[in-house]
Amino acid sequence: MTKYVATGLCAASIALAASIAMAAGEGAVLTQKTLSLALANTLASGAIAACAEIDQTAVVAVVDRGGNLVALQRGDNVGPHNTVAAQRKAFTALSTKSKSGELGEKAQNDPASQNLNTVSELLLLGGGVPVRLDGETIGAIGVAGAGGSANDEACAVQAIADAGL
């Protein structure tokens, strides 16, 4: 009886290995672009510099395509709440593949979208901008503390443009 159980287990293992090999064929493995640490640091530094050009300091958070924090830079004398705000703005832009300020306007003006305010992970204030490469969202940048949402967004947009994206 032990011989038959061992043979059955062996056959099951071979069948499982074969199905895994077939699943690993075409379309089973994804290849995706995402932000590198070097690019995230370039974007964060660029946003800090863009804010300095308008005499503002800020916190900048950069997330990869999975929403993972890759880079965070905090300017001098920026309120501590802005660190979380920058991260949430970046996450919002990544998650929705749109600028966080545009999403905020949509939630305010479109009755069907008003419940977006109830999703605690989203921050519907300007300053979060998706980072795209070849039409694909590969991450996002969030800026907070630069004297208002318009300034936050302008710093993020400038950093992305300066990085050639």
Cα of 27 vs its chain's centroid, Å: 24
Kindly give the confidence (pLDDT) of every residue in the chain, 165 residues in length, as a single tens digit, with 9 standing for 90 and above.
555 544 554 555 555 555 555 555 667 888 889 999 999 999 999 999 999 999 999 999 999 999 999 999 999 999 999 999 999 999 999 999 999 998 888 888 888 887 787 788 889 899 999 999 999 999 999 999 999 999 999 999 999 999 999
Distance CA 99, CA 83 (A): 18
Phi and psi (nearest 5°) for 118?
Answer: -90, -5
Q: Give residue 117's pLDDT.
A: 79
- Using N-to-C axis directions, what is the helix angle for 100-109 and 81-96, rounded to 10°? 80
Q: Give residue 5's pLDDT.
A: 47
pTM: 0.81
